[in-house]
Chains A and B, each alone.
Chain A
């Protein structure tokens, strides 16, 4: 099955956007640690991935592969997948700087060119569960995970998506029940699901729901993603939802 038109438009967007993105956000993302989302919440505090040493790990929407590089340092065997060739050029540059080698795969997560049951952990930090169709990606993840494997992914919370208005304010600008409509228009667009929608999609693909961590910036935290969510908002309401599910 070919990948969706929307995923192709998103690929073009990331190819165009990649250099500017890496220039603006690179400084925040270069931290030599495993950190989630706009506020760099430490994986050590969240525990979404569990033990990583010796594990086969697939990063969906790896961008410049900073997560995967740090995972390799910790003894994991990572594979970085991204739909954007330009993003993967940044990843190759960082791998060379780190003196590392692991596979980088240019593909949409809607069609993962990797064998069945080949990973212990699949994860995404605002990656392919946002920029590709989750109704296609989640079955693909179920296919490449081993039994008992973990899927962890960070996405914008439904509340942030409803309150978004060049950043976020306290008004509900859009209906909850329209959030999971397929993206429209001819530009880049993100996919959104309600909380109940995620639970049903994961369950239908053989996953148990293990945790939903509502990410909150630590006191005084800063971010380079200032047009995404403001500190005061994110201290009161969870702007990011980190789901953890396990293949049964």
Chain B
């Protein structure tokens, strides 16, 4: 994560995420990503009741709020963008859902070792922080047998995305070997993102003591429409190819 991403998300919060946060917090169902695929269909999360949860790159922390409502003991939202944490703090006040909020980059989290049972990231540190640093932080924060669940763009959609940030093509736009850090030049998406190949993800998770549990590659549901803001991929493309994927891993005992 970089200061540049804090600028991007400060603007995005003023334009978009702040005004949508309350509705998201009040939603009862957990869903994933831009296609809002339901957790009860994907079953990517373990039972969270009584668990201590950290959300890495929480933004306005709606995902953490959903987990708190499902009975999580403690949910800590970590994000480097003060504007988004202000929005989240306002919702803690107005909803009474008690989240703890910490301003920090996913690469360097000021919380103690082995203090969580679950680390989640949905379009958070999972794409905006350097995986070679934040995966190690997630491993440090988790207790033995703790789970890590994160959603990111698929590797394939990144391979098919032009540099100018326009929607993914049906043609490869960049090599896969060597992929890691991306600086998009789009009007909305002009931040720094990090994306790896599947082999590199498996290697990185294993190197940090994680067992790979699952890779859920998400298909846009029938009748899905292209997202009005997150238009880096069309619904038509995402019906044929995965635009998002969820990794599940468990820290070895």
A199 x B172 contact (CB < 8 A): no
- Distance from B88 Cβ to chain A, minimum over Cβ atoms (Å): 32
Could you say which interface size class chain B belongs to? Answer: 20 to 34
Secondary structure at the B interface, as helix, strand, loop or mixed, is mixed
Interface size in chain A (residues, C-beta < 8 A):
28
A196 x B199 contact (CB < 8 A): no
Q: Which of B177, B215, B219, B241 contacts A235 (CB 8 A)?
A: B177
Contacts known (A171-B170, A175-B240, A212-B202); A195 close to B175, Cβ less than 8 A:
no
Contacts of B175 in A (CB 8 A): 235-237
Contacts known (A170-B171, A216-B177); A176 close to B217, Cβ less than 8 A:
yes
Cβ of A208 within 8 Å of any chain B Cβ, yes or no, is yes
B214 x A203 contact (CB < 8 A): yes
- Distance from B73 Cβ to chain A, minimum over Cβ atoms (Å): 28
Contacts known (A172-B171, A172-B241, A175-B240); A211 close to B214, Cβ less than 8 A:
no
B217 x A171 contact (CB < 8 A): no
Contacts known (A172-B171, A176-B242, A196-B245); A210 close to B206, Cβ less than 8 A:
yes
Contacts of B216 in A (CB 8 A): 196
Contacts known (A176-B217, A195-B217, A199-B215); A212 close to B198, Cβ less than 8 A:
yes
Contacts of B177 in A (CB 8 A): 214, 216, 235-238
Q: Which of A172, A175, A194, A214 has the most CB of B within 10 A?
A: A172
New contact pairs (16) apart from A195-B215, A236-B172, CB-CB < 8 Å = A170-B172, A171-B172, A172-B160, A172-B171, A176-B240, A195-B217, A199-B215, A209-B212, A211-B202, A211-B206, A212-B198, A216-B177, A235-B175, A236-B176, A237-B175, A237-B177
Q: What 9 pairs between A and B have smallest CB-CB spacing? A: A236-B175, A175-B240, A212-B199, A196-B215, A209-B212, A214-B199, A170-B172, A176-B241, A196-B217
